[in-house]
Structure 1
Amino acid sequence: MKILLKIIGIIIFLIVGYVVIALLAFRKNYHFEKSVVIEAPCEKVWEHIASTKEMNVWNPFAKADPNIQITYSGIQGTVGDAYHWKGNDEVGEGEETITEVIPNKKLSCNLHFIKPWEGVAKTKFILTPEEKGTRVTWAIDNELTTGMKLLKPMMDMQMGKMFGQGLDELKVISEK
């Protein structure tokens, strides 16, 4: 019985220790980015990220629910181009709107999450010419609530997985 109580005490100590460290160590401002080099010129890659419809061809977040409902608005490929999504519990509901377009170089967007939790974020795609093609960097920035700070390591893992899948698919369709 004493061993069981010691184990429970150690587990509680570790959990409390993690919470304290996470709250102190993890900043409120969250930034995550991932890059890939695509063997295609910027102009060819741009075709696949220049509008919300084109992004959703390879966007793993839009593919996570086969029954997702997407409604587009605005003029595709311009500031104001937007889409609203509504999906299962994994996908939730929200809106993404293009806020900046620098053809063949940069696309910035505002994300508004509605469900399962309310939140906002900014995303951007930066295209940089390289010797073997184009480096595409996909980034997201937002502010973490206290509760979300505790989940930051899991968020990094999930974002890395999803951004990796999306960039890999973007690479495949851009190199065709």
Structure 2
Amino acid sequence: MKVIKFILGSALGAILILVAIGFFLPSNWRVERSIIIKAPPEKIYPYIANIKTGWPQWNSFDKEDSNIQFTYTGPEGGEGASRSWTSEKVGSGVQRITKANIHSGIDFEVSTEGAGFVVYGSINMEPHPEGTKVTWRDTGNMGANPIYKIMGYLMDSMLGKNLQKSLEQLKGKVEAEAP
């Protein structure tokens, strides 16, 4: 009986410590990855600005569930292009391009059902001696909830690999096509 009380007391103590730490963590989070692509922005832009035919060719998220169902609204690409998805594995949500420029990149928003927060993303392009530096940045705000703030603290480890893998696939697609 003493062992059970000790285990339960220790577990409760650990949970309380985590919640207390969560109160002191920042609400805002940011994940960023970059890659150099040996091509001008004009060759990269169709892949990042077209969420119907461009994104599925390189974005790892699109491949996480083979049964994912996408619905598209608005223009096929650029500002106002939007897609929603339903998936038993990754959940449901909406992505919308809010700003697009063939030379500098795109801004977008992603909201997921049930999570209650919005991811603000951008894929920026800037000149680089070897081609174009492409930077994917996702940011968000977890609010005051200490558990969500802990999740925000872990966001880099949760999203970073996916962003890097996606950028590497984008690089492969663009450079394979570039003359």
* Counterpart residue number, 1:57: 57
SS at match of 2:75: coil
TM-score, length basis structure 1:
0.86
User: After superposition, where does 1:1-176 map in structure 2 within 5 Å?
Assistant: 12-24=12-24, 26-53=25-52, 54-89=54-89, 91-114=90-113, 116-145=114-143, 146=145, 147-176=147-176
Question: Following TM superposition, by how much is the alpha carbon of 1:158 offset from its aligned partner in structure 2, in angstroms?
Answer: 1.4
Deviations 1:100-148 (A, max 9, x none): 111121201121211x433322111100110011111111122104121
SS at match of 1:77: coil
Deviations 1:11-65 (A, max 9, x none): 65444333312321x2112222111111222221222112112122211112110
* CA distance in 1: counterparts of 2:152 and 2:98, whole angstroms: 26
SS at match of 1:121: strand
Report the RMSD for the aligned CA atoms in angstroms. Answer: 2.1
Q: How many aligned residue pairs are there?
A: 173
* CA distance in 1: counterparts of 2:38 and 2:6, whole angstroms: 57
Residue 83 of structure 2 contacts residue 95 of structure 2 at CA under 8 Å; is this kept in 1?
A: yes
* CA distance in 1: counterparts of 2:82 and 2:66, whole angstroms: 20
TM-score, length basis structure 2:
0.85
* Aligned residue identity for 1:30: W
Question: Following TM superposition, by how much is the alpha carbon of 1:78 offset from its aligned partner in structure 2, in angstroms?
Answer: 2.7
* Aligned residue identity for 1:83: R
* CA distance in 2: counterparts of 1:164 and 1:2, whole angstroms: 49
Question: Following TM superposition, by how much is the alpha carbon of 1:92 offset from its aligned partner in structure 2, in angstroms?
Answer: 0.7
Instruction: Specify every segment of 5 or more residues in structure 2 that has no aligned partner in the other structure, as ranges.
Output: none
Question: Following TM superposition, by how much is the alpha carbon of 1:151 offset from its aligned partner in structure 2, in angstroms?
Answer: 2.0
